[in-house]
A and B are shown apart, each in its own frame.
Chain A
Amino acid sequence: MNTSLNWLQDHIDLSDYSTDALSDLLTFAGIEVEGIQERGAGVDHVVVGQIKSSDSHPGADRLSVCQVDDGSGSLRQIVCGAKNYKVNDKVPVALPGAVLPGDFKIKEGKLRGVVSNGMMCSGRELQLTDDHEGLLILKTDEATGTPIGELFESDTLLELEITPNRPDCLSHLGIARELAALAKRPLKGVPHYGASSVTQQPAKTEEITLEASESCPFYTARRITGVKVGPSPDWLKGKLEAIGLRPINNIVDITNYVLFEMGQPLHAFDVAKLDGGICVRLANDGETFQALDGNEYALQTDDLVIADQSKAVAIGGVMGGEDSGVTEGTTDVLLESAYFTPSHIRRTSRRLDLSSDSSYRFERGIDPAQTIGASELASKLILELAGGKAEDVLLVAGEVPASPSPVMLDHGRAQRLLGVDLSEDEMGEILTGLGLESQGAGAWKVPSFRGDLERHVDLVEEIARVYGIDKIPAREVAFFAEPSKEDARYDAHHQLRQRLVDLGYDDCLTIKLISDAQLADDLCALRLGKQNQAVPLKKPLSQDHTTLRPSVLPGLLDVAERNICQGATSLKFFEIGTVFSKHEKSPKVLESQQLGIVLSGDMTNASWHGETAQADICDLIGLCEALFGGGKQAVTMRRLEQESLLVAAEVLLGKSVIGRLGQVDPARAREMDCQGPLYVAEIDLAKAIKPSLSA
């Protein structure tokens, strides 16, 4: 979440924290600071200037040559490409010597042969706004020459990663609350957004019908008439722009402001566009909805909609409609503030692949106790900024969901889990700082905004986080452990790897998903035999990866081909890895570990000494004999006829078949640009190696 440090400072004094210290404080409490942007700060040599004249550039149609009063007493000539100004407009002027964000140094110079002694800036060039349409026209009475920093407050933007269990941190007030606990200091004059002065009045059915109370347990609406929609004042625009939002109009801006201030999403409907009262219901079969992002969505009967008497006007908690929103001509608004059930919003948002700042918060769980406070804050701001008259009562339907239940903290158990000697008081202090209240006997009342604290271990986590894991002493313990079967298998496989590497075979790892073309390889059929099948994915991500490999050889042959392209002359590759198959009569997927070998070309290194030895099938046969024939049973070959192999053999250990080897059809080898005969072997390691625990 984009968080403005200035905005945070509305709620908490952080003046003694450097940006880095603040970043560490948050990061080590589990709120990772993913980025920091300094805005409008530290830009020296940028002043208020007034454009006194503007003439066209003699050598470029798109440029103009301006004389600018920079307050120094003499006019400064600046060549400019923007068109959005009038003579006598005030604009920011970067004087030579200024270094703009992005390490952009301003120097005196010539543009198309005309002297230019500085630059007039857009909002984005100074990182004050996101606007890059033209010069930033200053509506200011400040004298020319005034440093621009005096007009624009500097700010620091923190990009915070809020984990899904902490929806309470998805607002400036929430982050400030968290910082107050971490920095152990109070919030500035805590805003009483929870307290309410407005009269709540149960809505009549013609006003609000709450049909889907499972998806929407609590819905409120307030009618404000006679508003004047227009641009927001600078302070509000500034706040939104600081966190990267585009101001739209005062009403919409206020709802956005309240969302980022308190974490409560609101929606303002234009009453004139509503057909009667509000109905909170599930969508009808086949209902479609034109959302304000311009797209039409096909709804299902478990999607929640906010509807009037004739049509849906919003996908509840996700997005409003194109036709019912507030526009320039709106005079009466209906302000919605509600609590939607997280799992419900998540399902709809995911299915429609439609996410908004609202759905993001509802699906994680907002503070149900804030619903009314947020409505009130927004109403108050609307009256202040857009005029009009609010109805005396707030229409409510449904019930505010219950506050979280108290949670027990067992001091001894918490100590043991943390591995640190922290006293009961110290733990209590941390929890109190986070807004919990001790009810005695280890019971803690959880504030409404911390619905994630449900269990003992949740409290322990809070203690660990705030106490600081760096202060928890690391304990090193070691144990004697009997090697497992898997240990023995790993060791045997590793030994095999070691021998192959020592013999000059490269250890490869290829992707375990193969394409249909690779699956059609006769080598796969050879591995699978008559009764086994390959295992296809239900929804492959690409044509290249449709099926779990039944053999490691298709992948290894690709490796060989790729290396031939790169000019390799000695192809000695192996892979030890899982392959997959399924018996035709059983759904169970069988996984086994195979050794695949590909061999071709030089068996010795090329050198000045003379010719290199070339691989032949005896090398591969000998390798298998040496690798697996060390025990009581000998490795022997049994002739095999196989379509894709010029010569082939089954590899036997004693009487059991442990794998197959052969020479790849030379036509195929030639297609791969392989210069000499190409050999492959695949050995089933479960059959070839019986690892002993003493190995």
Chain B
Amino acid sequence: MIAQLDAIHQDAQAAIEDACDEAALEEFRIRFLGKKGALTQAASGMRDVSKEDKPAVGQKLNEVRQALTRFVEARSAQLLALKDAEAAKGIDVTLPGRRPQQAAFHPLTQVMHRGISALRQMGFTLAAGPEVETEFHCFDALNTPEDHPARNEKDTFYFADGHLLRTHTSSVQVRTMETTKPPVRIIAPGSAYRRDEIDSTHLSVFSQMEGLYVAEDVSLGDLKGTLERLFRAIFGPKTPVRFRPHFFPFTEPSFEIDIKLQPKGQDPRWIEIAGCGMVDPNVFRQICESRGDDVYDPDKVTGFAFGLGLERLAMIMWGIPDIRLLIENDQRFLRQFASA
């Protein structure tokens, strides 16, 4: 019996060398380890082994079974490795890869996000208001007299019931102050509407970002500091920023802000980028009236507000020559901003 097992072991050792593919290896397995295989048949001779020899023969049987199983495993691993190597043959890692589809944030989303991030770092929080507004929130509360040029059907979209499409995001200032006590520090990005024919520099629907900070003793110095930081966060830490006195109904004093940039292939120049100013006391008075209290009494609080056009910002930032590119959503245009 022992000799028979040794013989099987030796046969197997020789046979495994010939098992050079998976079918041959399977044949080998059946021949030696299968139900009718040599080892199984030899094992059936166990019952004829004398009781005292049984432990030794049993041990031998196990050894041989283990050895044969190892042959199969080792050979199998070898064969798989060969197959792996075969599969890798002809792969040229220097060839171009297969890229995932990469889309892009719209340039306006990007500009807005940069502005929002910078202002949130300074402690501003987001606020929103409706785009279909009342005349009160869009004009009256913002110290814009009834016969102001903006307040007519030539410049503003009205609805039959007297509501209108907000002409600026400044209406969110009013909404916020109506519902929140000072101090307030908010930014309100969103759409605004004006009856402008669409051309290379105008859209009838455009995006703005509004900011408002009201507390005790907010000064012109605070306005300067905040807005300088904002524009340097967007355009780079060394960007020169300047303020020019201007006129808006809802702020006094009012300023326009220019930044100095070097458009591609041109000399550096000052570019007008935003309007701002100290909140006009009349605005606060309207808010007090609307709230029915005096927490926004202009003798107690001061504040600043600013507004910027995001299309213009994006156009300046990337040298976009025509505002209409921003609403056409041509993939070839959008994808240029994928890594911007």
Contact = CB atoms under 8 A, between A and B. Distances in A.
B225 A559 contact: no
A504 B203 CA distance: 28
Given A419-B220, A487-B125, A509 B225 contact: no
A501 B96 CA distance: 23
Interface stretch (A11-19, A380-388, A397-405, A468-476): A468-476
A486 B126 contact: yes
B318 interface: no
Interface string B309-331: 00000000000000000111111
A507 B247 contact: no
A513 interface: yes
A562 B122 CA distance: 41
B221 A475 contact: yes
A465 B245 CA distance: 6
A614 to B, nearest CB: 13
Interface stretch (B28-36, B45-53, B158-166, B288-296): B158-166
A460 interface: yes
A598 to B, nearest CB: 10
Interface residues of A, number: 89
B131 to A, nearest CB: 6
Nearest to B228: A474
Contact of B103 (A457, A472, A477, A505): A505
Contacts of B246: 30, 32, 163
Given A164-B247, A566-B332, A490 B126 contact: yes
A573 B159 contact: no
Contacts of A163: 246-247
B272 to A, nearest CB: 9
Contact of A419 (B130, B222, B281): B222
A572 B328 CA distance: 15
Interface stretch (B1-9, B58-66, B68-76, B149-157): B149-157
Interface string B11-44: 0000000000000000000000000000000000
Contacts of B185: 479, 481
Interface in A484-502: 484, 486-487, 489-490, 494, 497, 500-502
Interface in A199-235: none
Given A164-B247, A589-B132, A475 B98 contact: no
B221 A28 contact: no
Contact of B224 (A465, A474, A489, A541): A474
A137 B329 CA distance: 58
A54 to B, nearest CB: 46
B165 to A, nearest CB: 8
A343 interface: yes
B237 to A, nearest CB: 13
B221 A473 contact: yes
B239 interface: no
Contact of A604 (B101, B125, B126, B243): B101
B128 A486 contact: yes
Contacts of B332: 566
A447 B160 CA distance: 45
Contact of B329 (A464, A472, A573, A591): A573
A538 B159 contact: yes
Given A509-B327, A512-B191, A539 B158 contact: yes
A461 B252 contact: yes
A481 B124 contact: yes
Interface string B65-104: 0000000000000000000000000000001101111111
A464 B253 contact: yes
Given A486-B127, A504-B103, A464 B245 contact: yes
A509 B120 contact: no
A507 B99 contact: no
Interface string B216-237: 0101111011101100000000
Given A478-B121, A508-B329, A27 B244 contact: yes
Contacts of B98: 604-605, 607, 609
A535 B132 contact: yes
B329 A417 contact: no
A676 to B, nearest CB: 16
A350 B126 contact: no
A465 B96 CA distance: 61
A343 B145 CA distance: 10
B220 A507 contact: no
Shortest Cβ-Cβ A-B pairs, 10 listed: A419-B221, A504-B101, A419-B219, A30-B245, A479-B123, A163-B247, A461-B253, A474-B224, A486-B126, A474-B225
